[in-house]
Amino acid sequence: MPTPTTVAIAAGWLAEEPPLPDRCVKHGEPAVRRATFAVRSHPRTSSRKRAFQPGYTSLNRAEEYACQVKLVKVSGWPLCRSCVRRRTIASTLAGVLFFGGVLAMIAGLVAGAVDDGPNHLPLVPILLGLAAVLLSPLPLRRAGLPRLARAAATADGSAVQVTDVSPAFTAQLPARGLA
């Protein structure tokens, strides 16, 4: 097993929208699609202790987070066939969960309206449908572009750090693109 490699790409270089390698980060396979998205940093907000101080509200916390989070735009990120497939499966799954859930809720409501006896069964499809709708964003989050790209911005926003990079991707990065 090769050791996991991390590469830091300079944000200034990315801002020039240079041609990025034509191999995907994860599989090292040829790119079949290019994607543009924003990579964010993951700032550490104040410790829990401070959150319980009087006068320090969750609004302060959200504000602090918003000030600290840095966004770096990435254009033309390579995605290989497997990466694209993974995204397609995720969005299909999300769609099935969402619309299946909505249909189950409608079916439960209709069944409840038709049957006016003391029957609590329609509650089951309604609750299952609601659960499916609430869970539907999960597969999308798992196959989100920053996640797929294994990328996160550094705390100061000066670079995009990519973890576990395929050597095929790194080999095509010019020296001046490295942070």
Nearer to Zn ion, 20 or 104 (CB): 20
Chain positions contacting Zn ion, by CB under 5 A: 24, 26-27, 80, 82-83
Return all residues near 31 (Cβ < 8 A) that are at least 6 apart: 21, 22, 23, 24, 78, 79, 80
Are residues 72 and 157 in contact, defined by beta-carbon separation less than 8 angstroms?
yes
Q: How many CA atoms lie within 13 A of 114 on its CB side?
A: 8
User: Please, what is the minimum distance in Å from the beta carbon of residue 175 to Zn ion?
Assistant: 24
User: Please, what is the minimum distance in Å from the beta carbon of residue 176 to Zn ion?
Assistant: 25
Nearer to Zn ion, 11 or 80 (CB): 80
Nearer to Zn ion, 26 or 87 (CB): 26
167 backbone φψ class: left, alpha, beta (φ>0; ψ -120 to 50): alpha
User: Please, what is the minimum distance in Å from the beta carbon of residue 75 to Zn ion?
Assistant: 18
User: Please, what is the minimum distance in Å from the beta carbon of residue 61 to Zn ion?
Assistant: 36
Nearer to Zn ion, 26 or 70 (CB): 26
Instruction: Compute the distance between CA of residue 42 and CA of residue 14 in angstroms, rounded to an integer.
Output: 19
